[in-house]
Structure 1
Amino acid sequence: MDEIQAQLKAALAHHQAGELNQAATIYEHILKVNERQWEARYYLGTLQLQRGDLDQSIRTFLQVVQLQPELPDVHNNLGVAYHAAGKWQEAGQSFEQAIRLNPHYERAYFNLGSLFESRAVFSEAVKCYQKAHDLNPGNLETHQKLADALKSAGEWSRAETIYRELLVASPGDFDLSMKLAYVLVLQRQYQEAIMLYESMLKSSPDHYQILVSLSYVYEAIGNIEAAVEAAKRSIQVAPTQPEGYNNLGNALKLQHDLEGASENFRKAISLRPDFAVAEFNLATTRLLQGNLQAGWRGYERRADIAANPQQQYPGQQWQGESLSGKSIYLWCEQGFGDTLLFIRFAIELKKRGAAQVMVLCQTELAELLKSIPEIDQILIAGDPQPECDYQCALLSVPLYLETSLETIPAAVPILKPSSERQQYWANVLSELPGSKVGLNWCGNKSFPKNELRSIPLNSLLPLGEQEGIQLISLQQVNGLEQIAPLQNAWNLWQPGAEYQADTGDFSETAALIQNLDLVITVDTAVAHLAGSLGVPVWILVSRLPEWRWLLERSDSPWYPTARLFRQSELGNWEPVIQVVQSELERMLHSN
C-alpha cells in the first residue's frame, strides 16, 4: 500500500468514527500532495455535505465530476447537496445523470423520489420509489416512502396495502399504525379506523394525536357523544394545542350548540392565529346562525384548506369597486350546488352596472348557465382566458356586496332550460297518470359526510304508496344501483336513455324538472337546480345541515319555492319521511 492510500485509509477510519475534523485534515493534506486524487476529494465533499457546508460541498463534487465524470456516486451525492441547498433543477439533473450511468442505482432513484416528494410532485415520486423498491424489495425504508407518496398522490388503496404489509414485518409499529388509520379514514373505512385508534389508545391512553384523530372520525360518522368525549380528552392531555378545540367545536356544532362551538373555534384560533380550518369552521358556524356578514370574511379561508392550490386568473382582484363600464371574470371553485346557489351574484353584478360578466364554470353546467341573459360569456376549463378589468371567485362576491339574509338576491327563476327539451319531457310525462313528483335520494359519494345527507332509496318506499302521485327518478350517476332491487316494489318511473342517468346532464335534468309538480330531494345539487328553476322543492335536511339551510327554519331565504323538512335525530330519517308522506296527502287533497 502506497503512502497516499494509507493516509486515505486513516482518514476514512476517522470519517466513519465521526471524527470529521481529523478526517478533513488528512483529506486536505492528500489533495495538497496530489490535487487530482479524486477519492480524497470525493470523501471531502461527502464530509462537507454532512457538516451542512452545502456550497463548499457542491464545489468539491463538481471538481470530482471533472476528474471522474462517469462515476454515478458523485452525481448522486452532488444531487443530494443541490437538493439540500434548494437547487431543485440541478438536483434532478444530477440524480438523472447518476441513473443514466447506472440504471440499477437504487439510491439515486430513492433520492430522485425524495426530490419529487419535496416538490409535491407525488405521481413522479411514486414512480421513483417504486423503481427503487423493485431494485431492492427488502428495503423497508423505500417501501414505506412508496406508501407515503401513494398516500399523498391520492392512491389510498395501494398505500393501505403497503402499510398492512409493513405492519406484518413490524407488528404494532406506532407510526405505521397511524398512517394506516389515516388512509382508512380517507377511504371512509371509519369503523376499522376507530378500532385501530382505540387499540392504540390501550397502550397510549393519553396520546394527543390519537385522541384528535379519533374525535374527527367519530364526528364524521355522527357519533356526537364519542366525538365530544375524545375531543375533551385531547384538550385535557394537551390544553395548549389547537386541534382539540377545533374538533370539540365541530362536535358541539353537531349538537346545535353553536355558541359553544364558536367559543372553541375562537380558542383554537387564539392558540394558532393562522389556523385556517378553525377560522373556516367559525365562519360557517356564523353563516349557519344566519349572521352572513360576520361569516363571509372567514369563509374566504376555504381556499387555504382546499386539497389543491387555488388557480390564478388574469385581472385585478375585485374587492367591491364600482363595475360601471368594467368587465369582470368570475370563476367557480367548488361543487355543482355551490355554483347553482351563487350564480345569482353574477346576475347581481350585471344589474349593478358591470359592462361584461364572464363566468368560468364546470363543463357539466355550461350549457344550462348559457340560458342566463345577464352573463355575457360562459367558459369552461381549457378555454382561452379572456382579458378583463377584474377577476373574483364567484363564492367571494357576497363578501364584497356585504350580503345579509335580508339582501340575498332571491328572485326566481334564475335558469331557463331549452324550450325544445322542455317540450320533449312535457310530451313524455303527459303519458303518465297523476301528479308528477321528482325524487332524488343520493348525493355525490365523494362528498364529505355524504352518508349523513343521503337517504337509502328503500327508506323512501312509503312515498310510492300515495295514490294520485307518479314518482319520477331524477337520480343521475350516484345511487342508481339502488333502483334494480326495488324495481317491482313501488311506483318509481325512470326516464329513458335520453336522460343520461349514467353520465349526468344538468340541462336534461332541468328540462325534466321544469315539467314536474314537485321535487323531493336530499341536500344535493338537484335541490339548488329545482330552486333556481322556481319549481316547488321539498328538501330533506340532515340534523347537521350545510350552513346555507340555516337552523330550524322550514323555508329558505335563497329559494322562495323551497320547503325544508329537518331531521331531529342525526341518522334517523323515518320521522322526516312520515311528515313528507303526510304533506303529500294534504297536497293531493287540496288540489
Structure 2
Amino acid sequence: MEKYKNSPYGPDEVPKAAPTLCRLGEIHLKKGNFEKANIRFLQAIEQNSNCATAYHGMGIILQHEKKFSRAIACYQKAKELEPFALKHLVKIGLAYREIGRLKEAVNFLQKAISINKGVGSVYFLLGQVYYDLSRFTDAVSCFQKTIELNPVHMGAYVGLADCYMVFRQPTRVMEVYYKALKLDPESAIVLNNLGAAFMETGEVETAIRYFKQSIHFDPHLAEAYINIGSLYRDNGEMKKSIRFLERAIQLNPEAAEAHYNLSLSYLYIYDFPKGWEEYEWRFRTPLLDLQNHLLADESYWDGGPLNGRTILIRDEQGVGDTLQFIRFLPLVKRLGGIVLFETEKPLSGLLTHFNGIDRFIDRRKEELSEIHFDCYIPLMSLPRILQAGIEYKHNTVPYLYADPQGVRKWAKRISAEPGIRIGINWQGNPDYVSDKSRSIPFHHFHSLCRMKGISVFSLQKYYGLEQLENLPPHVRIINMGPDLDEECRAFVDTAAVIESLDLIITSDSAISHLAGSLGKKVWLLLPFVPDWRWGISGENTHWYPNMRLFRQISPGDWSELFSRVANALTEFVSSR
C-alpha cells in the first residue's frame, strides 16, 4: 500500500517525526479540521506505533463522529501506553457517559482522581455522572470539592444548585447562585436558574425579574424565555405566556419543553387546533416521561378510515385523563375498525361494556409483541387526529355507566341516610406535580358537613383518609369503608355510589371525571389557575355539561371559595 495514500499533502511534505505530526494534528483539531487531523495522527502512528498522543487524538475524532466503541478503544490504547495520564482516563469516562454506561464512567473518573486528587475539573465531571445516576448526595460532594479546588468554576456552582433543587431546598439554591453571581454578575445561566429557584418558592415577581435580567445579558437564551413563559401561564397570563414561549421556539425550534408549555397555554384559551398540534411534543420532553408510549412511525394512525383494520389505542398519564379522553373511542370505532385499548390501570371492571372498545388490554399482563394491530395512536392524541375542537362541547353524557348490580347494592346503604345525599372528595394523588395546589385540606369541608338537611359521604380511597381522624363535634361524614373498590375493581363501586347520590363536590381529581362522565351533577372546586382543561374563567366547561366550576378568586384562598359553595349548597337543598 502506498504510504500516505489518503494524505492531501505530497510525500515530501510529510514530517518524519511523530511528535511533530501529533502537534499538527492537534492544531487541526482545535480548528475543527477533523479529516486533516486524522491524517496527521495516522501518519504519527505509522512513524511510531506507541504514540499515545496520536491514539488519544484519534479517539477524540471518533467520539465526535459518535463511533464510541472505536473511540474508547483508542483511548484505552493511549492509556496502556501512558497509564498515569489523567486525560486518557477522563476521556474514557466521558465516552461511557455519552453512551449511557454511567457505572463505567464513574469507574474511570474515580481512577483519574486516585492518580491526582488535585484536579477540580475531574471532580466536576464525576459530579455530573453522579447527578445522571440520581446519586445526588455524591454529586454534591463532588461539586463542593470542585469549588474548593477551583473557586471560580461556574459549572460546579450550577451543578451544586441543581442538586439542592432536587432536594427541594430553594434557600440553599439561592445561596449558591448568589455566590456565583459575585464571580460573574452578568451570567445569564445563573440569573435564569436563580429565577427558577424563586419560581419554586412562588415569588413570582422576583422570578420574573431574574428571568428578564437573564434575557438582557443573553437575548438568545431560549431556556429563560421558556421559564418566563411558563411562569406567566401558571399565573393565568396566557397572552404573555404565548409571546415568550413562541420566542423560545424561534430561538430553538427543537426545544420540546417550549412546545409542550405552549400547547398548554393554547389549550387554556381553547385554541384547540394549535394546542393539540403542539401537545404532540409531550413525548419529547422529560417532564412527562412518555417516550415509551411511541412506537414505529409507520404504524402511527393518520386518522383515515380503518376499513376493518385493528387499531391499538395506548393509554397515558393519569386516571382522570383516561376517563376524560376515552369519550373519543366511539368516534374511532365508527371509522370501521377493531379497537384495542391498552392501559396499565385497573379499569377493566369499569370499562368492560364501554361502547368503543372491542378488546381491553392490561399492559401489566400482556406483552406488546404478542398483540396484533395494524396501526396505533396514544389516547390523548385523538382530539388532534379527529380534529375535535371546541365544537365537541355538545357531546352527550353519560358515556360511562355504573354496574346495575353495584348500584342496587350501594343504594340500599345510601338511602338509609336522611336528606340530600352528597359525595365529597378532597385529595388527589399526592405524587402529582401540582397536587399541592389542587387538593384541598379537609377542614374546609367542615362547614358543609355541619349543614342541616344533607348527608355527606366520603369518596376518598387511600389518600386523604387520615384527615378524618379526630374530627370536631358535629362534623358528620360517612366513610364508605375499605370494601369500596376492593379486589382491584378500581372505580366500579365508586361509580355505583355516585349514581346513588344527588350531588358530587370534589377537588380536581379522577372523581371529577368519573362523576362527569356518568352524567351526575358535579361541583368542581378549582385553584386560582387550575389544570389547562378547565380554562381560566367561567363556571361551565366544554367537557361536561353537568359540571359547575367554582374557582379561587386569589391564589390559595379556599375559605372564600367555600363560602360561595356553602351559599350555593343552601340554595340547592332548599330547591329540592
Q: Note if contact 1:219-1:227 (Cα within 8 Å) is conserved in structure 2.
A: yes
Residue 300 of structure 2 aligns to which amino acid in structure 1? Answer: Q
Q: How many angstroms does 1:550 deviate by? A: 1.2
Give 1:85-100 correspondences, 5 Å limit: 86-88=66-68
**SS of aligned partner of 2:447:** helix
Residue 268 of structure 2 aligns to which amino acid in structure 1? Answer: L
Measure the CA separation in 1 of the matches of 2:386 and 2:406: 36
Measure the CA separation in 2 of the matches of 1:28 and 1:94: 15
Q: Does 1:494 align with 2:500?
A: no
Measure the CA separation in 2 of the matches of 1:567 and 1:345: 30
With over 3 angstroms needed to count, the CA separation of the structure-2 counterparts of 1:445 and 1:177, relative to structure 1, is farther
Q: How many angstroms does 1:477 deviate by? A: 4.2
Measure the CA separation in 2 of the matches of 1:360 and 1:167: 50
With over 3 angstroms needed to count, the CA separation of the structure-2 counterparts of 1:417 and 1:335, relative to structure 1, is same
With over 3 angstroms needed to count, the CA separation of the structure-2 counterparts of 1:560 and 1:445, relative to structure 1, is same
Give 1:121-270 correspondences, 5 Å limit: 121-122=101-102, 124=103, 128=107, 144-145=124-125, 147-156=127-136, 159=139, 163=143, 174-198=154-178, 200-201=180-181, 203-270=183-250
Measure the CA separation in 1 of the matches of 2:286 and 2:427: 24
With over 3 angstroms needed to count, the CA separation of the structure-2 counterparts of 1:247 and 1:511, relative to structure 1, is same
Aligned with 2:335 (options 353, 359, 362):
353
Q: Does 1:407 align with 2:392?
A: yes
Quote the residue 1:335 is aligned against.
Answer: 318
More deviation, 520-529/159-168: 159-168
Residue 272 of structure 2 aligns to which amino acid in structure 1? Answer: L
Quote the residue 2:354 is aligned against.
Answer: 372
Give 1:408-447 correspondences, 5 Å limit: 408=393, 410-447=395-432
Measure the CA separation in 2 of the matches of 1:203 and 1:302: 37
Q: Note if contact 1:327-1:354 (Cα within 8 Å) is conserved in structure 2.
A: no
Q: How many residue pairs end up in the alignment?
A: 537
Q: Deviations over 1:84-123 (max 9, x none)?
A: 6644456789999999xxxxxx99998776444312355x
Measure the CA separation in 1 of the matches of 2:224 and 2:101: 31
**SS of aligned partner of 2:548:** strand
With over 3 angstroms needed to count, the CA separation of the structure-2 counterparts of 1:280 and 1:31, relative to structure 1, is closer
Q: How many angstroms does 1:428 deviate by? A: 3.6
Q: How many angstroms does 1:202 deviate by? A: 5.1
Give 1:475-514 correspondences, 5 Å limit: 475-484=460-469, 486=471, 490-499=475-484, 505-514=490-499
Q: Note if contact 1:224-1:254 (Cα within 8 Å) is conserved in structure 2.
A: no
**SS of aligned partner of 1:301:** helix
Q: How many angstroms does 1:146 deviate by? A: 5.0
What residue ranges of structure 1 are gaps of 5+ in the alignment?
A: 1-10, 33-39, 55-79, 100-105
More deviation, 232-241/158-167: 158-167
Q: Does 1:571 align with 2:548?
A: no
Q: Taking structure 1 as the reference length, what is the TM-score of the superposition? A: 0.77
More deviation, 505-514/339-348: 505-514
Q: Deviations over 1:201-235 (max 9, x none)?
A: 45543321122223334344443322322222222
The two structures, once aligned, show a CA RMSD in angstroms of 4.2
With over 3 angstroms needed to count, the CA separation of the structure-2 counterparts of 1:503 and 1:390, relative to structure 1, is closer
Q: Note if contact 1:220-1:449 (Cα within 8 Å) is conserved in structure 2.
A: no
With over 3 angstroms needed to count, the CA separation of the structure-2 counterparts of 1:109 and 1:533, relative to structure 1, is farther
Measure the CA separation in 2 of the matches of 1:523 and 1:437: 17
Aligned with 1:455 (options 419, 436, 440):
440
Measure the CA separation in 2 of the matches of 1:88 and 1:28: 22
What residue ranges of structure 2 are gaps of 5+ in the alignment?
A: 1-16, 28-38, 80-85
Quote the residue 1:49 is aligned against.
Answer: 55
**SS of aligned partner of 2:241:** helix
Residue 336 of structure 2 aligns to which amino acid in structure 1? Answer: A
**SS of aligned partner of 1:340:** helix
More deviation, 127-136/145-154: 127-136
Residue 427 of structure 2 aligns to which amino acid in structure 1? Answer: C
Aligned with 1:586 (options 568, 571, 574):
571
Name the % identity: 27
Give 1:32-43 correspondences, 5 Å limit: 41-42=49-50
**SS of aligned partner of 2:523:** strand
Q: How many angstroms does 1:557 deviate by? A: 0.9
Give 1:297-312 correspondences, 5 Å limit: 297-307=277-287, 308=289, 309-312=291-294
Aligned with 2:301 (options 314, 318, 324):
318
Measure the CA separation in 2 of the matches of 1:482 and 1:191: 30
Q: How many angstroms does 1:554 deviate by? A: 0.6
With over 3 angstroms needed to count, the CA separation of the structure-2 counterparts of 1:120 and 1:588, relative to structure 1, is farther
Residue 54 of structure 2 aligns to which amino acid in structure 1? Answer: Q
Measure the CA separation in 1 of the matches of 2:69 and 2:25: 33
